[in-house]
Amino acid sequence: MARLKVGVLISGRGSNLQALIDACAEPGYPAEIVLVLSNSADALGIERASRAGLKTTVIPHGDFVDREGFEAALDGALREAGAEFVCNAGFLRILTPWFVERWRDRQINIHPSLLPAFPGLHTHERALAAGVRFSGCTVHFVRPAMDKGPIIVQAAVPVLPDDDAGTLAARVLAAEHRIFPLALRLVAEGRAKVVGSHVVIAGSDAPTEAVLNPSDRFMK
């Protein structure tokens, strides 16, 4: 089966990008990365991509007078690289409805909370301030409203009594690295489909279990 050609958008550290790179290196993984695009030249993720031999492009948003120009350049670079699908892996720019609609149902994002709780920034600080017992992460299809859109996979982690934003972020990040490649795989295999405002998972092996705090059995 042909592998889904993916463009990854990043702005920084790129640890989720690394999780996708590692997954794509596994035999039988149904997606491949054709371009890593950053809006920042000193994103560590660019180094990770180069180390993996991937094509990289930096498009600084500051070079453009408006969002439309910046996004037209992003869109052009993705299409030129042959991308069929987009993964937002810590991409810190808000995308306009124009870009989002162009990639509708072909763009996913990872967010470090159990959406719809705590959209936006400073999720871990806000989770701690709210006193929640669980936090986690979400992979969802992108819609024009920030951090909204049909949810593909979530993983929950406990919030422990001594947590600060750093320790909670690290626990959530480890879960992010598990569910992002899983969500991309479900989409690339055609098993995760948007129906209305939800995602329905089709497939033979216990689909509900596969997207609810997925166990190791579903990671491969």
Q: Which is nearer to ligand GRF, 78 or 173 (CB)?
A: 173
Residue 1: CB minimum distance to ligand GRF, A: 27
Tokens 């996913």 identify what position?
108
DSSP H helices in the chain? 15-24, 44-51, 67-80, 97-102, 123-130, 165-188, 207-211
71 is a contact residue toward ligand GRF (CB under 6 A): no
Binding mask 113-152 for ligand GRF (x = CB under 6 A): ----------------------------------------
Token representation of residue 170: 């690290």
Measured CA to CA in angstroms, residue 219 lies from 92, 175, 185, 188 at distances of 27, 11, 9, 14
Closest residue to ligand GRF using C-beta atoms:
90
Rounded Cα distance between 76 and 68, Å, is: 12
Minimum CB distance to ligand GRF smaller for 14 or for 30: 14
Q: Determine whether 111 is an active site residue.
A: yes
b/e per residue 88-113 (b: at least 16 CB within 10 A) = bbbbebebeeebbebbebebbbbbbb
13 binds ligand GRF (CB under 6 A): yes
- Does 171 bind ligand GRF (CB under 6 A)? Our answer is no
- For ligand GRF, the closer CB: 34 or 43: 43
Where on the chain is the footprint of ligand GRF (CB under 6 A)? Answer: 12-16, 45, 89-90, 110-112, 173, 176
- Residues tagged active-site: 111
